[in-house]
Amino acid sequence: MVILKWNGKKKESDILSEMDETSPFCIHDIYSSNRFSFKLVDEWKNLLIWGENKAILKSLLKTFKNRINLIYIDPPFATGGEFNLKIQIGKNKNYLDKIAYTDKWREGVDSYLNFLYERLVLMKELLAENGSIYVHLDWHISHYIKLIMDEIFGCENFRNEIIWAYPAASAKTRRFFIRSYDTILFYSISDDYVFNDNPKIYQEFSDRVKNALKKDDKGVFYYRGGSHNGKKLSRKVYIEKDGIFPRDVWNDIPYIRANTVEYQGFSTQKPERLLRRIILASSNEGDIIADFFCGSGTTLTVAEKLGRKWIGCDSNLYSIHIIRKRILNLSKSNDALNWKKFYNKEPNSFNILNIDKEDKINRIPNVFLSKDYRNKKLVELRETPNLSVKIHQKDNKIRVELIDYKIPFEDFISDKIKKKIKSYSDLIDYWSIDFDSGNEIFLNMWFSFRTPKSRILSLKSDEYQYKESGSHKISVKIIDIFGIETIKSYPIKTIS
């Protein structure tokens, strides 16, 4: 038997024995499919969780042990690099590159292997008996992780090493062959796992076949060649499905370009069509799909469109904000099953959670700071921004207008950034209203936000009508371009 060893490796039993160290989740935000009528309990809510994923995995095991049907993860690849996301400012195309995550490992490959190994052990505990896991990697580290997954999941449960091949148009090297593919390792928990022969996962016919297609009274066909005893033969092959069942080399899915509808400004964003194939093949409608390195939210987006439940987490608060907007904007994105149409549906209810160790200190990313304040640590600010609104009221009907937003840390911001900001509204990326905030939890009943493709922000809400007269509290939330969240409440009285 092969035994894998590296510095710092723990036993699986020791990793699982740490379960007593779990932390509770706090509900940070609620998004209901019916914004004006919602329940805190008794119905499934999709979960978007902000925090460190090892702690989140431990906490999820209390409720979701052996319940998740499919896990897809796109973890760091141990590249030694840094990866960016684009932060756009205002309604123009001004943007900045902010580091989304650093893929550097000071203690070398051992520390990376410990990092991923411990999380994979916990993920296995979450998977249902018919569940599967797909781990997306590349040439840097996939050979190590293949052996680790053999150890955790069993080599008998290895199903495929999938090659996602894509063009490398910008490659300029002449010192080695151009690298233009990623590796996806596909494992199941047992031999009784979900795998669907769904026509929507099929690959297109080759150009040779497409150009050779003909039709007769029996249907569409092409001639397949061959020979026997030196004599050329051919026979008709009739087409029953639009394409061929996927091989383990996927060269029919392009990577994300900035001009595509799904682009989120995230440098490692994966295509929706890649996740569509995985989710349709390895899950059924109503199943729970999870992604614990969810980045720009592709897995969650496709799971939502395909009628699956989902759980996602990321340690980067910007990622959580990007995903929030991406899910809310689903109706204007491509339909997963018919790419030429818009999805044109509102998302199901979801909650944003965090582990109960939230840091309340506002932090300004270095990319916004002047050189005098730019350093390895982020500037910490204990003063909160100030927002001003005008409440338009007629009897029991209310509209809220945003009229100003001021940051108390303007002196820290670089002149280059200040020049890009023409109005207070350029500072705002998202704002929302809870018209009846009797709970401690913020219910996003109305919202307006900017996306990479639509930079227009509405500064006046739709009209809200209270059913009963009396005293109410309106809460307004702003998330600005720095990622800082500000909430302010206003008491009102209505007369029916």
Residue with tokens 């009396």: 470
Which is more confidently placed, 438 or 42?
438
Give the pLDDT score at 376.
47
Q: Is the dihedral of CA 426, 429, 435, 440 positive or negative?
A: negative
Give the pLDDT score at 282.
98
Confidence bin at 221 (pLDDT 50/70/90): confident
Give the CATH class of 362-494: mainly beta
Residue 347 in contact with residue 330, Cβ under 8 Å? yes
Q: For residue range 321-343, what is the model confidence (pLDDT) as tens digits?
A: 999 999 999 999 999 999 999 99
Burial of 385 (0-12, 13-18, 19+ CB in 10 A): buried
Give the pLDDT score at 243.
85
Main-chain dihedrals φ then ψ at residue 313, nearest 5 degrees = -150, 155
- Region label for 12, one of left (φ > 0), alpha (ψ between -120 and 50) or beta (otherwise): alpha
Burial of 26 (0-12, 13-18, 19+ CB in 10 A): middle
Across 85-89, 171-175, 197-201, the highest mean pLDDT is recorded for 197-201
Number of H helices, E strands in the chain: 9, 25
Give the CATH class of 12-203+246-355: alpha beta
Q: State yes or no: pLDDT of 241 exceeds 70.
A: yes
Give the type of residue at 483: G
The Cα–Cα gap between 28 and 440 comes to: 9
The Cα–Cα gap between 496 and 210 comes to: 67
Give the pLDDT score at 323.
96
The Cα–Cα gap between 136 and 114 comes to: 17
Q: State yes or no: pLDDT of 382 exceeds 80.
A: no
Q: State yes or no: pLDDT of 102 exceeds 80.
A: no
Instruction: Name residues whose C-beta falls within 8 Å of residue 231's C-beta, 6 or more positions apart in sequence.
Output: none
Instruction: Name residues whose C-beta falls within 8 Å of residue 179's C-beta, 6 or more positions apart in sequence.
Output: 138, 139, 168, 171
The mean predicted confidence, pLDDT, of the chain is 88
Break the chain into its structural domains and give their ranges: 12-203+246-355, 207-238, 362-494
Average pLDDT value for residue range 30-53: 80
pTM exceeds 0.75, yes or no: yes
